[in-house]
Chains A and B, each alone.
Chain A
């Protein structure tokens, strides 16, 4: 079955450490997205990519970085510059058409040690 795989499901970060969240899709979608969700809150867009080797900042990109070297993969790095990284991170992908929905992974929960 096609889908989006996020790993790990739980991740812990020490102070001053960078961590990378993995997102892989086998849906052959061009567009991929990263969102942050805080408890009881909605989704906030961190970064998105419409094509390989290209990506754009979303609403809360500071303290995060991404790469898009392959169509299937869109890893997110939470850097030490992100002072409040504890949150639930969701990756999504989508066929680049207005009538197509975003498809989501199961998320990664990041906590500070």
Chain B
């Protein structure tokens, strides 16, 4: 079946460090892929998405590329800020309204 496997946290980085959060998926066919961010006490916000192989989603300095050959959608940011501290979720969408979330990765950025 379809599933998403996400890098376990928590992740702690210093400000301006490079961020990578790994996400791999299992799916038949060509799903759409998403990254969400959740700040404490809030709902999930869509960060970026990619709907076909080799698409790159980007937003607020974050990027992720849909890699079909490695079934991956890793989230990256070149220089993190304290305000990026949050929980990040990778997600997959498939036909029949199937939607799968990873377990979330907590990121803390220290000044």
Q: B-contacting residues of A (Cβ < 8 Å)?
A: 4, 6, 31, 33, 40-43, 48, 50, 90, 92, 94, 96, 98-107, 109
Contacts and interface: CB of A to CB of B under 8 A. Distances in A.
B89 A98 contact: no
Interface stretch (B17-25, B39-47, B67-75, B76-84): B39-47
12 contacts: A48-B97, A92-B44, A98-B51, A98-B93, A101-B36, A101-B46, A101-B93, A102-B91, A104-B43, A104-B44, A104-B45, A106-B42
Nearest to A30: B97
Contacts of B58: none
Contacts of A96: 97
Contact of A98 (B31, B91, B103, B106): B31
Contacts of A40: 106
A99 B51 contact: yes
Contact of B93 (A48, A90, A92, A99): A99
A52 B95 CA distance: 19
Interface residue tally of chain B, by bracket? 20 to 34
Contacts of B32: 98-100
A98 B94 contact: yes
Interface in B37-57: 41-46, 49, 51
A40 B10 CA distance: 10
A107 B44 CA distance: 9
Nearest to B47: A101
Nearest to B29: A98
Nearest to B48: A101
B41 A31 contact: no
Q: Which 9 A-B pairs have the closest CB atoms?
A: A104-B43, A42-B103, A99-B51, A104-B44, A99-B32, A101-B46, A106-B43, A42-B104, A43-B101
Contact of B43 (A48, A50, A90): A90
Nearest to B46: A101
B108 to A, nearest CB: 13
A29 to B, nearest CB: 11
B99 interface: yes
Contacts of A105: 43
